[in-house]
Homo-oligomer: A and B are copies of this chain.
Amino acid sequence: MVTSPIMCLRYCLTESNYLLLLTMLQNLKERSSVKFDRMLRTGRTRLKNAYVWYLVCYFAISCDAADTNEINIWPMPVSVSFGSGKLHLSNAFELKTKGSKFADASGILKEAFSRTIDIVRSSHVVELDTSKVVPSLVLRGIHVVISSPSDELQYGTDESYKLYIPAHGNPIYACIEAKTVYGALHGLQTFSQICSYNLSTRGILVHQVPWTIVDQPRFSYRGLLIDTARHYQPLQVIKKIIDAMAYTKLNVLHWHIVDTQSFPLEIPSYPKLWDGSFTIFERYTIADAEEIVSYAKKRGIHVLAEIDIPGHAESWGFGYPSLWPSENCTGPLDVSNDFTFKLIDGILSDFSKIFKFKFVHLGGDEVDTSCWIITPRVRSWLHKQGMSDSDAYQYFVLRVQKLALSHGYEIINWEETFNHFGSKLNPQTVVHNWLGGGVAENVVKAGLRCIVSNQDKWYLDHYIRWQDFYSNEPLENITNHELHSRVLGGEVCMWGELIDAADIEQMVWPRAAAAAERMWTSYDKLAKDPNDVRSRLSHFRCLLNQRGIAAGPLEGLGLTRPFGPGSCYTK
């Protein structure tokens, strides 16, 4: 009943190889001017036969090797070994924590375990009755052993884990060892990608056992920026972004909360600030912000809050007009007015109660000082202080840095602050690159720390290919290895001018995932040619879709439709 070499291959190849073959055939089809789809299925022409048999031979030859070399885990762990066995995931799959020092009073681990089972089972209805399967073939649960009793999540919290899945035993349990619960969460994410629904058994199979995975992130700061000032993002949308960040092992949600266009966040110390929101429906209460922070923490994700001052703050003056140089010249924030700094101090004080991350982001980019120069009151103040507008920009940033430090924060500022007065920045400053490549090199040489977000590669609102997201190397040209630790990591930025609740997911995924591997995976394991990981990323994109995340086709540069009918795995 086999009708074509393709159908034959569908059974003799491994799943991943089959997908790769499909991809190649799809590419072939796209290049061909004839109706290749029909050809492919019916063997109509000699051309088709020649190509298909070539590919069959190619895959038949490479089949054995690929059997043991293909792993569909994203991002790739540091160290992986695996076998060729299979286990059935028990329907009564359970969490064991004997010997763990982590008491899980807040339920972080239990909830994460429960979510793991949910996502593993989300693609199909599970029908297999595992109580009727030979016990030696059933994986009964995961034994999680955590050595730290604390659930504190802070910059630098250990995220390493080891995952063992034996091939034999009775009963059989997988084991995750981690220093902290947050390492264990990563272990569960990796585990979820080793499981998949199996059509033959109608159950969840754990593939390629036995597994030994030893893993830890390359960078401790792996960020994604969202912007709720250009468009408000509802809580449900932010939560889904966080869900998918956890799937990709990103660990910092950089929340660009407010900007020129709107001020959606409640600030108890200055309750008129959110008068600058678009509407009363497009606001975050303090309780909402706490909910976001808590939701993120339960997934091992920090929330970095930003106020982008003095340049991106026009909306602040809605509630407090004296923050503007004048009603006719409404930005940057009035440097000459002590109230400006008193209010910022109030914001930072309120922030420090909600946003417990070590860092606060103070912005500092794109400051156009003309309003300071042309507004008589501010100009005369500048004159009195003996400051140029440029001096005043420095004065503003440094004064606010001190305020942030006084609230226990370390500081992140956009790179213009470094470019203008780098030597004056507080040594606690982390410089956030965005203008282009090559900045980190200068920042770390100057003794400061850096986060890499060069817009030509890591801006999600730009039309950039996933391959460029993947290839962007935070340590590029930093030859002195002692300086590497000053690059905390990187961040992909989803600026919100053209992004609302409808298009955000597709603009972020899967391109942010491509960058996530760059930030997680050890350098030697990263593909030199990103196309080498295309099949694995494609698999991961389809996995995101199965989990309800609207990740788009790899070939898209953000919001895009698939180019025509076909398998997810070929897009």
Contact = CB atoms under 8 A, between A and B. Distances in A.
Interface string A528-566: 000000000000001001111011110000011111111
B324 A568 contact: no
Contacts of A124: 235, 285, 287-288
Given A280-B10, A502-B550, A566 B231 contact: yes
Nearest to A565: B230
Contacts of A328: 42-44
Interface residues of A, number: 87
A27 to B, nearest CB: 15
**Which secondary structure dominates chain A's binding surface?**
loop
Interface in A170-229: 199, 202, 229
B550 A505 contact: yes
A37 interface: yes
B7 A550 contact: no
Contact of A281 (B43, B122, B542): B542
A123 B235 contact: yes
Contacts of A261: 37, 565-566
A548 B242 CA distance: 13
Contacts of A499: 561-562
Copy number in the complex reads 2
A436 interface: no
Contacts of A275: 7, 10
A104 B497 CA distance: 48
Interface string A223-261: 000000111101111001000000000000000000001
B500 A125 contact: no
Interface in A484-506: 496-503, 505-506
Contacts of A561: 498-500, 503, 559
Interface in A250-279: 261-262, 272, 275, 278-279
A433 interface: no
A482 interface: no
B125 A567 contact: no
B567 A282 contact: yes
B318 A236 contact: no
A321 B3 contact: yes
Contacts of A232: 567-568
Nearest to A331: B38
Contact of A236 (B542, B548, B563): B548
Given A237-B545, A314-B41, A546-B234, A568 B501 contact: yes
7 contacts: A7-B318, A41-B314, A122-B234, A125-B285, A127-B285, A500-B568, A559-B561
- Top 9 A-B residue pairs of the complex, sorted by shortest distance between their CB atoms: A278-B567, A236-B548, A501-B545, A230-B565, A125-B287, A498-B561, A502-B552, A261-B565, A502-B550
